[in-house]
Chains A and B, each alone.
Chain A
Amino acid sequence: MSADILIKNARIIDPGQGIDLTGDILISNGLIKTIGKNLAKPDLMTIDAAGLIACPGFIDLHCHLREPGFEEKENIATGTSAAARGGFTTVCCMPNTNPPLDNVAAIDYIKNIAASKARISVLAVGCITKGRAGKEISEMAELARAGCIGFSDDGSPVPSSRIMSLAMEYAAMLDLPIIDHCEDLELTRAGQMNDGWVAARLGLKGIPAAAEESIVARDITLAEMTGVRLHITHVSTAGSVELIKQAKERGIKVTADVTPHHLTLTEERVMRNPVTTAISLVYDTNAKINPPLRSDRDIEILLSAVNDGTIDAVATDHAPHTREDKLCEFEAAAFGISGFETAFGVLMTLVNSGKVSLNRLIECLTVGPVKILGLKGGITGILKPAMPADITLLDINKEWTVDARNFLSKGKNTPYDGQLLKGMVVATFHKGKLAYKDGSLRIAK
């Protein structure tokens, strides 16, 4: 059993229970034993957390661990090490592996590898359709019994409204969410980046906002018909926010998440790198992402949606790729950002500029995702005695410079390389064990 640990004098922020106080947390046998003031016990590993924040471990609804099939990009061991460094104690991995997670054996494989190799909890998202091909629904009830926590064909959204509605009926029966990457593939065909002025400037094919919004609208309509819990992942446009807001007002069971990069970067990042400006245009493949980075106005609306609750959670869409996947022509480059290790620091830029409160940010990383998943997989997103001690320690004043070469993730593909950030994760406890610690962590004993 893991050793007992005492976290002393932390600012404890637990948005799920409305807690924000200074105190101690005693961890025993992997569980939270006590939360209180002036807890003291001799012969105990004690962490001096004065000046630090202790909050429930972060939960990521959307990531790609690439195993099985794409281990050159990432595997469960490296991916969860990177996630732990990012403060995450639970991650939900998307099923676009090879083979895809459309059968019980594949889900079992993830569970088995995770049990021996993962630093943190890994929950699997199952496929909506067999082979992610959009033609026939997968054996969803079997997948649910095997432990998957929701369904998605992420990256290859189901084009057929009929198949989607059938899958939604099954998901509703199983009380699991459909997690949809909303994209009309006909409208985005050959698209490389947001269909706006930068695409026109660079001569790249555009991905219009309407490609996302038309499927958000379709999905909402189908969710109303089927009664499923619909989760729209990585929302990127102002129009999607408006549709989700209206649906929520009408009482449709829809939730949404947004990524750190869609909240902080615009399409301009594709042609300009604020850190290196050697050449007039950069065609930066590290800023190539689907859905694409959008406009200032979209960011403004996404931020207000985070603040007013229209958006329920922040998810990384951690999408690691090899150097070769990105060091090539823009059109040939893979979509995606390696996001675990920069997520919190990047999100803190929003707190530091007063756009989002720290408590709301932590809510979107903890209890926000739990409410979407519906307490599946034994995660609660709160700090409570007798619960597993999934706790993240944060230093919100610590400045650091992103250096992709030092990422624990195999994917060094980040548009934030070289950027100075303020606010970092200093330790991550998963079930009472230190899954990650920064060198600055003060351990008394």
Chain B
Amino acid sequence: MSLNEPRVSPAGQETLPPLSIGLWHHRHILDLDDFSPEEINLVFEITDGMVAVLSRDVKKVPTLRGKTIATMFFEPSTRTRASFEIAAKYLSADTVSLDSAKSSVSKGESLIDSLRTLQALGVDVIIIRHPCSGAPYIAAQNLQTSIINAGDGCHAHPSQSLLDMYTMKRRLGDLSNRKAVLVGDIMHSRVARSNMWGMKAFGMKIVLCAPPTLIPHGLKEMLARCNLNHVSIEHDINTALRDADVIMPLRLQKERQQSGLISSIREYVQLYQLNAERLAKAKPGAVVLHPGPMNEGIEISHEVAYGTQSLIEEQVTNGVAVRMALLYLIAGGGNR
């Protein structure tokens, strides 16, 4: 199944044709643990079409005209929120944006009450970012409206993982048996967790590289129990980087030092920073991704972040296309 070339309508606007998306059965996008490889490929095929739309002068298509999409961010984020909102606008959806500081959450209204209000207002899709793991699941259990998880606590960030993989795939082609190394704060990383599921679908291998204090105690057993045998743990970055195709340093929050999880930023940099010397230990042509925002000089050196192997800017651009595809599948597919 493939996405047909967008037609040009008499009015000169590009439209997307109705798709055969019989494969798609998701009402919500909460994580990638319940996505099949075929479903991810479907997302990517539609993303290809969206990338084509983004390359045009007039980027707007009428696909989601009449639909309303709300972003509800209980945690500060400029990048992910902007990416989703731009994606929605390019698809001609109306957008409403609420952030917790201004909404009634600070007045003591419960999460579910706030979301029910949005539902009653007729919103078609709610995009949630929340500091508590599982918050979008609580929402999905109590609402009929579609929920997209834009990052929940330390748990999941499915759209980020999809854009990571889409970006890798465009550069590397076939991803099977490719080795990705995720370096840093695995404990608190929703990106690492979602990528474990997403990369599994493509037959990739993953090495998680961090000091033991930044790896959850139950992770090893989780990998065994959840059949994630493509994932391994390595404390030494030089060993981890051997034969790597993809390297993804994770943001290190400075609070981790105050809470005693690392001794100092200085030592962390010595042990785990991705710099040019270390990058040279990976496969020639290996690519560098970062979920952002970066702490240049901590988890990644400036020269690597802006070097030829870095795909960090492409990730941002592809992020819009991937999120357009997700919104299209959730709100425009007519498969509800």
Q: How far is the CA of A431 from the CA of B190 in the complex (A)?
A: 57
Asked whether, in the complex, the Cβ of B193 is within 8 Å of the Cβ of A203, the reply is yes
Nearest residue, chain A, Cβ from B135? A329
Known A279-B137, A328-B111, A330-B134: A201·B156 in contact at CB below 8 Å: no
Q: For residue A202, which residues in chain B have a CB less than 8 angstroms away from its CB?
A: 133-134, 155
Shortest distance from the beta carbon of B29 to any chain A beta carbon, whole Å: 12
Asked whether, in the complex, the Cβ of A282 is within 8 Å of the Cβ of B33, the reply is no
Asked whether, in the complex, the Cβ of B226 is within 8 Å of the Cβ of A283, the reply is no
Asked whether, in the complex, the Cβ of B152 is within 8 Å of the Cβ of A203, the reply is yes
Asked whether, in the complex, the Cβ of B155 is within 8 Å of the Cβ of A203, the reply is yes
Contact with A along B96-125 (1 / 0, CB 8 A): 000000000000001110000000000000
Asked whether, in the complex, the Cβ of A200 is within 8 Å of the Cβ of B217, the reply is yes
Does A114 sit at the interface, judged by CB under 8 A?
Answer: no
Choose among B30, B142, B225 the residue with the greatest number of A CB atoms under 10 Å from its CB.
Answer: B225
Does B140 sit at the interface, judged by CB under 8 A?
Answer: yes
Asked whether, in the complex, the Cβ of B134 is within 8 Å of the Cβ of A279, the reply is no
Nearest residue, chain A, Cβ from B154? A203
Nearest residue, chain B, Cβ from A324? B110
Does A199 sit at the interface, judged by CB under 8 A?
Answer: yes
Does B222 sit at the interface, judged by CB under 8 A?
Answer: yes
Q: For residue A278, which residues in chain B have a CB less than 8 angstroms away from its CB?
A: 141
Report how many residues on chain A are interfacial, defined by Cβ distance under 8 Å.
Answer: 25
Asked whether, in the complex, the Cβ of B225 is within 8 Å of the Cβ of A197, the reply is yes
Q: How far is the CA of A208 from the CA of B33 in the complex (A)?
A: 26
Q: For residue B52, which residues in chain A have a CB less than 8 angstroms away from its CB?
A: none
The contact of B217 among A195, A280, A283, A332, by CB within 8 Å, is A195
Known A201-B226, A203-B152, A203-B153: A329·B218 in contact at CB below 8 Å: no
Asked whether, in the complex, the Cβ of B156 is within 8 Å of the Cβ of A330, the reply is no
Does A174 sit at the interface, judged by CB under 8 A?
Answer: no
Contact with A along B288-330 (1 / 0, CB 8 A): 0000000000000000000000000000000000000000000
The contact of B137 among A197, A198, A208, A281, by CB within 8 Å, is A281
Nearest residue, chain A, Cβ from B134? A283
Shortest distance from the beta carbon of A413 to any chain B beta carbon, whole Å: 15
Q: How far is the CA of A445 from the CA of B221 in the complex (A)?
A: 61
Known A200-B218, A206-B217: A330·B33 in contact at CB below 8 Å: no
The contact of A328 among B33, B138, B152, B218, by CB within 8 Å, is B138
Nearest residue, chain B, Cβ from A205? B154
Q: How far is the CA of A158 from the CA of B33 in the complex (A)?
A: 42
Shortest distance from the beta carbon of A325 to any chain B beta carbon, whole Å: 11
Q: For residue A201, which residues in chain B have a CB less than 8 angstroms away from its CB?
A: 218, 222, 225-226
Q: How far is the CA of A200 from the CA of B215 in the complex (A)?
A: 9
Asked whether, in the complex, the Cβ of A203 is within 8 Å of the Cβ of B190, the reply is yes
Contact with A along B207-239 (1 / 0, CB 8 A): 000000000111101101110000000000000
Does B174 sit at the interface, judged by CB under 8 A?
Answer: no
Nearest residue, chain A, Cβ from B259? A189
Does A48 sit at the interface, judged by CB under 8 A?
Answer: no
Does B205 sit at the interface, judged by CB under 8 A?
Answer: no
The contact of A200 among B110, B112, B142, B216, by CB within 8 Å, is B216
Shortest distance from the beta carbon of A273 to any chain B beta carbon, whole Å: 10
Nearest residue, chain B, Cβ from A195? B217
Asked whether, in the complex, the Cβ of B132 is within 8 Å of the Cβ of A197, the reply is no
Contact with B along A286-327 (1 / 0, CB 8 A): 000000000000000000000000000000000000001001
Q: How far is the CA of A124 from the CA of B96 in the complex (A)?
A: 54
Asked whether, in the complex, the Cβ of B141 is within 8 Å of the Cβ of A329, the reply is no
Asked whether, in the complex, the Cβ of A195 is within 8 Å of the Cβ of B218, the reply is yes
Contact with A along B127-145 (1 / 0, CB 8 A): 0001011110110111000
Q: How far is the CA of A203 from the CA of B33 in the complex (A)?
A: 14
Asked whether, in the complex, the Cβ of A200 is within 8 Å of the Cβ of B137, the reply is no
Q: How far is the CA of A87 from the CA of B126 in the complex (A)?
A: 47
Q: For residue A331, which residues in chain B have a CB less than 8 angstroms away from its CB?
A: 132-133, 153
Q: For residue B38, which residues in chain A have a CB less than 8 angstroms away from its CB?
A: none
Known A200-B222, A202-B155, A203-B152: A283·B216 in contact at CB below 8 Å: no
Nearest residue, chain A, Cβ from B110? A328
Q: For residue A199, which residues in chain B have a CB less than 8 angstroms away from its CB?
A: 216, 218
Shortest distance from the beta carbon of A393 to any chain B beta carbon, whole Å: 39
Asked whether, in the complex, the Cβ of B137 is within 8 Å of the Cβ of A283, the reply is yes
Asked whether, in the complex, the Cβ of B111 is within 8 Å of the Cβ of A329, the reply is yes
Asked whether, in the complex, the Cβ of B217 is within 8 Å of the Cβ of A281, the reply is no
Q: How far is the CA of A279 from the CA of B130 in the complex (A)?
A: 19
Does B5 sit at the interface, judged by CB under 8 A?
Answer: no
Q: How far is the CA of A81 from the CA of B155 in the complex (A)?
A: 41
Q: For residue A203, which residues in chain B have a CB less than 8 angstroms away from its CB?
A: 133-134, 152-156, 190, 193
Q: For residue B34, which residues in chain A have a CB less than 8 angstroms away from its CB?
A: 280
Asked whether, in the complex, the Cβ of B141 is within 8 Å of the Cβ of A282, the reply is yes
Q: How far is the CA of A330 from the CA of B218 in the complex (A)?
A: 19
Q: For residue A208, which residues in chain B have a CB less than 8 angstroms away from its CB?
A: 217
Q: How far is the CA of A200 from the CA of B154 in the complex (A)?
A: 9
Shortest distance from the beta carbon of B209 to any chain A beta carbon, whole Å: 16
Q: For residue B224, which residues in chain A have a CB less than 8 angstroms away from its CB?
A: 197
Known A199-B216, A200-B222: A280·B135 in contact at CB below 8 Å: no
Nearest residue, chain B, Cβ from A199? B218
Contact with B along A181-223 (1 / 0, CB 8 A): 0000000000000011111111110101000000000000000
Shortest distance from the beta carbon of A281 to any chain B beta carbon, whole Å: 6
Known A203-B193, A279-B140: A197·B133 in contact at CB below 8 Å: no
Choose among A196, A199, A329 the residue with the greatest number of B CB atoms under 10 Å from its CB.
Answer: A329
Asked whether, in the complex, the Cβ of B221 is within 8 Å of the Cβ of A197, the reply is yes
Asked whether, in the complex, the Cβ of A283 is within 8 Å of the Cβ of B219, the reply is no
Shortest distance from the beta carbon of A237 to any chain B beta carbon, whole Å: 14
Asked whether, in the complex, the Cβ of A329 is within 8 Å of the Cβ of B30, the reply is no
Shortest distance from the beta carbon of A32 to any chain B beta carbon, whole Å: 50
Nearest residue, chain B, Cβ from A192? B133
In the complex, 13 of the A-B residue pairs with CB atoms within 8 angstroms, ordered by the A residue number, are: A197-B226, A199-B216, A200-B216, A200-B219, A203-B155, A203-B190, A203-B193, A279-B141, A280-B31, A281-B31, A328-B110, A328-B112, A329-B111
What 5 A-B pairs are tightest by C-beta distance, nearest first? A203-B155, A283-B134, A203-B154, A329-B132, A200-B218
